[in-house]
C-alpha cells in the first residue's frame, strides 16, 4: 500500500504542470503512433501480396520478353519473344495445360462515333480466356477461327462499354483502333481495379493475328502465360522452359538471358523483400523516435527535480526515505510513457483506419503493435526515468531545504 500511495502521488504531480507532462510524452506518442501505422501497413501489404499471388494464379508462370535480374513491367518494345517460341514451349514441355502468347499496347485511343477512350489493347489467342479465367458475360470471346482469319473483331471490358456505349448493347457495334474497324462480339466480366489502382476493365482484346498484323504491325509478343497441370512440377518445368529458350535464342554463358520466367512465388518473394526492407527502415525510425522521446523525458524530469528541490527536501524531512522519492519519480516517468503509449496507439489506430479511405495504401490495424509499443515504452520509461529518480533520491534534506 505504501508503494502504491507513493506512486499515486507521483502520478498526481503530473497534473500540476500539464504542458510539461505533454512535452514529456510527445515523443512516445509520435513513436508509438508511427509503430502502429507501420505494422498496420505491413499487414495490409502482406494481404495485398497474397491477393496478388491469388490473382496471378498458383499454377501460373509468365515467360516475359527481356532479361535482367529485377522485375520491371513487361515491355512490348522488347522483341525477343515470338509466336514460334510459344509454340515450341507448347510442344516441348510436358505437363502444361495452357500456353497463351500475348501482345499489347498501352494508352491506345479506342473510338466509337463521337466517343473515345484510352485503353489497353491486347492481342490474344482463345486460350487467353482460360489462362486468366476471364470470360465474356455478353456475346462470345476470341475463337480459333478469329485467329486463323485475322478477323476484325474484338471483346471489350466494362469500362470501355460504359465510356463508348453508355447503356446500349455494344455487341455487333463497330469501334476503331488505329483506324482499323473492329466489330464488338463480346463484353468481358467486370474485374475492377488492380492493387496498384489500374483499371482491369479498360481493355480491348483482339485475335492475336489481327492485333500483330493489322493494329500493332509487329512480329513479336510481349509475354506468354503458362498454366501447369501440377504446381509441384512448376520449378522443374520453369527450368526446362529456360533451357529451351536459351537453346532457341543461342544463349550461352556468360551472356545474359533475353527473357524472364516469373511465378507467383517469385512475385511474392520480391514484394515481401521490398515491403520487409521498407518496414524495417520505418520501424527503426519509430524506435529512434521513442528513444528521442526517452531522452526528452529524462531531461525534462531532471529539470523537474531541480525545480522541486524544496518539495523533495520537505518530504525527506517529514520521513520519506530515499526509496520513497525514487519510486515517486520513477512512477512519474512510467506514467508518462504508458499514457503516451495509449494516446499514440489511439492516434495510430485512427490513422490506420483513415489511410485506406484517403490513399491507395492498405492498412490492417491489429492489437500486436500496441503490446509491442507498451513493452518498448515501459523499457524506455524505466531506462530514462532511473537517472532523474536517483538524482532526486540522493538529495540531502538539509541542502534541499536551503
pTM across the whole model: 0.62
Given a cut of 90, whether residue 102 has pLDDT beyond it is yes
Q: Which of 1-15, 28-42, 308-322 has the highest mean pLDDT?
A: 28-42
pLDDT value at residue 90: 95
Q: Higher pLDDT residue, 335 or 160? A: 160
pLDDT in tens, 292-326: 766 766 776 666 666 666 666 666 665 666 676 67
Q: Higher pLDDT residue, 146 or 361? A: 146
Question: Which of 99-113, 272-286, 290-304, 346-360 has the lowest average pLDDT?
Answer: 272-286
Task: State the Cα–Cα distance between residues 75 and 260, nearest whole angstrom.
Answer: 12
For 214, residues 6+ apart whose C-beta sits below 8 A from its C-beta are 150, 152, 180
Mean pLDDT for 384-396 is: 64
pLDDT in tens, 230-251: 988 888 999 999 999 999 999 9
Dihedral sign from CA coordinates of 273, 274, 275, 278:
positive
Q: 376: which 3 cell numbers?
A: 518498448
Helix (H, G, I), strand (E, B) or coil at 163: helix
Task: State the Cα–Cα distance between residues 111 and 163, nearest whole angstrom.
Answer: 10
pLDDT value at residue 1: 38
pLDDT in tens, 50-79: 666 666 777 889 999 987 655 445 666 788
Given a cut of 80, whether residue 125 has pLDDT beyond it is yes
For 305, residues 6+ apart whose C-beta sits below 8 A from its C-beta are 312, 329, 388, 391, 392, 395
Q: 359: which 3 cell numbers?
A: 490513399
pLDDT value at residue 135: 95
* Average pLDDT of the chain to the nearest whole number: 80
pLDDT in tens, 281-290: 666 766 676 6
pLDDT in tens, 155-182: 999 999 999 999 899 999 999 999 999 9
pLDDT in tens, 183-229: 999 999 998 876 556 788 999 999 999 999 999 999 999 999 999 99
Neighbour tally for 16: CB within 10 Å? 9
Given a cut of 60, whether residue 5 has pLDDT beyond it is no
Q: pLDDT tier at 124 (50, 70, 90 boundaries)?
A: very high
pLDDT value at residue 283: 66
Inter-axis angle of helices 264-307 and 309-317, to 10 degrees?
A: 70
pLDDT value at residue 161: 95
The residues with which 123 forms a beta bridge, in sequence order, are 103, 206
pLDDT value at residue 6: 42
Measure the CA dihedral 301/303/309/310, to 10°.
Answer: -110
- Give the residue ranges of DSSP H helices in 62-113: 83-92
Q: How far is CA 66 from CA 155, 179, 223, 261, 262, in A?
A: 28, 30, 9, 10, 12
pLDDT value at residue 33: 81
Task: Specify the pairing of strand 96-112 against strand 115-124.
Answer: antiparallel
Dihedral sign from CA coordinates of 201, 207, 212, 213:
negative
Task: State the Cα–Cα distance between residues 168 and 276, nearest whole angstrom.
Answer: 48
pLDDT value at residue 193: 75
Neighbour tally for 327: CB within 10 Å? 22
Every domain of the chain and the residues it spans: 2-51+269-401, 60-229
Neighbour tally for 173: CB within 10 Å? 17
Amino acid at each position: 500500500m505504501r508503494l502504491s500511495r507513493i506512486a499515486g502521488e507521483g502520478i498526481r504531480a503530473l497534473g500540476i504542470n500539464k504542458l510539461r507532462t505533454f512535452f514529456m510524452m510527445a515523443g512516445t506518442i509520435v513513436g508509438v503512433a508511427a509503430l502502429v501505422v507501420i505494422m498496420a501497413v505491413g499487414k495490409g501489404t502482406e494481404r495485398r501480396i497474397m491477393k496478388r499471388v491469388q490473382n496471378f494464379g498458383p499454377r501460373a508462370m509468365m515467360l516475359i520478353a527481356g532479361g535482367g535480374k529485377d522485375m520491371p513491367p513487361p515491355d512490348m518494345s522488347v522483341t525477343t519473344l515470338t509466336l514460334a517460341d510459344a509454340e515450341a514451349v507448347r510442344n516441348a514441355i510436358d505437363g502444361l495445360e495452357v500456353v497463351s502468347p500475348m501482345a499489347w499496347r498501352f494508352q491506345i485511343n479506342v473510338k466509337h462515333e463521337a466517343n473515345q477512350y484510352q485503353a489497353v489493347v491486347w492481342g490474344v489467342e482463345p486460350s487467353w480466356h482460360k489462362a486468366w479465367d476471364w470470360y465474356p458475360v455478353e456475346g462470345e470471346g476470341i475463337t480459333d477461327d478469329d485467329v486463323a482469319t485475322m478477323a476484325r473483331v474484338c471483346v471489350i471490358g466494362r469500362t470501355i462499354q460504359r465510356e463508348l456505349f453508355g447503356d446500349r448493347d455494344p455487341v455487333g457495334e463497330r469501334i476503331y483502333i488505329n483506324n482499323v474497324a473492329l466489330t464488338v462480339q463480346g463484353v468481358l466480366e467486370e474485374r475492377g481495379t488492380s492493387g496498384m489502382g489500374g483499371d482491369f476493365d479498360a481493355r480491348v482484346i483482339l485475335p492475336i493475328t489481327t492485333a500483330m498484323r493489322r493494329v500493332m504491325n509487329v512480329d513479336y509478343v510481349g509475354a506468354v502465360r503458362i498454366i501447369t497441370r501440377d504446381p509441384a512440377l512448376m520449378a522443374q518445368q520453369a527450368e526446362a522452359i529456360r533451357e529451351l529458350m536459351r537453346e532457341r535464342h543461342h544463349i550461352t554463358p556468360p551472356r545474359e538471358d533475353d527473357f524472364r520466367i516469373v511465378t507467383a512465388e517469385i512475385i511474392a518473394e520480391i514484394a515481401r523483400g521490398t515491403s520487409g526492407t521498407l518496414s524495417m527502415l520505418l520501424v527503426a525510425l519509430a524506435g529512434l523516435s521513442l528513444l528521442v522521446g526517452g531522452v526528452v523525458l529524462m531531461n525534462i524530469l531532471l529539470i523537474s527535480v531541480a525545480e522541486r528541490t524544496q518539495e523533495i527536501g520537505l518530504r525527506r524531512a517529514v520521513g520519506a526515505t530515499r526509496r520513497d522519492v525514487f519510486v515517486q519519480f520513477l512512477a512519474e516517468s512510467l506514467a508518462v510513457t504508458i499514457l503516451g503509449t495509449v494516446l499514440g496507439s489511439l492516434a495510430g489506430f485512427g490513422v490506420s483506419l483513415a489511410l485506406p479511405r484517403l490513399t491507395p495504401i492498405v492498412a490492417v490495424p491489429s492489437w500486436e503493435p500496441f503490446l509491442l509499443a507498451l513493452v518498448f515504452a515501459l523499457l524506455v520509461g524505466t531506462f530514462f526515468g532511473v537517472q532523474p529518480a536517483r538524482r532526486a533520491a540522493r538529495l540531502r534534506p538539509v541542502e534541499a531545504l536551503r
